Amino acid sequence: MVIRVPPGQRVTEKWPVLHYGSIPPFDPQRWDFRIFGEVEEPLRLSYEEFMALPKKVITCDIHCVTRWSRLGVTFEGVAARTVLGLVKIKPSAQYVMVHAEQGYETNLPLSYLLEDDALFAYRADGKDLTPEHGWPLRLVVPKLYFWKSAKWVRGLELMAHDRPGFWERNGYHIRGDPWQEERYSEP
- The residues that touch ligand MTE, with contacts defined as CB under 6 A, are 15-20, 64, 100, 104, 133-134, 146-147, 149-152
Task: Tell the smallest beta-carbon distance from residue 8 to Mo ion (Å).
Answer: 14
- What type of residue sits at position 102? Q
Q: What is the largest CA-CA distance in the chain?
A: 48
Task: Tell the smallest beta-carbon distance from residue 86 to ligand MTE (Å).
Answer: 22
Which residues neighbour 182 within 8 Å (Cβ) at sequence distance 6 or greater?
145, 173, 175, 176
Report if residue 147 touches Mo ion, rule: CB under 5 A: yes
Task: Tell the smallest beta-carbon distance from residue 54 to Mo ion (Å).
Answer: 29
Q: Which does 133 bind (CB under 5 to 8 A by kind): Mo ion, ligand MTE, none?
A: ligand MTE
SS3 readout for 130-162: CHHHCCCCEEECCCCCHHHCCCCEEEEEEECCC
DSSP label of 176 = -
Choose which of 23, 64, 71, 73 interacts with Mo ion (CB under 5 A). 64
Residue 51: name the closest of 31, 23, 74 by CA. 31
In the bound state with ligand MTE, the residue whose beta carbon lies nearer, of 16 and 28, is 16
Q: Which does 42 bind (CB under 5 to 8 A by kind): Mo ion, ligand MTE, none?
A: none
In the bound state with Mo ion, the residue whose beta carbon lies nearer, of 18 and 51, is 18
Residue 67: name the closest of 7, 124, 20, 143 by CA. 7
Residues that bind Mo ion (CB under 5 A): 18, 64-65, 147
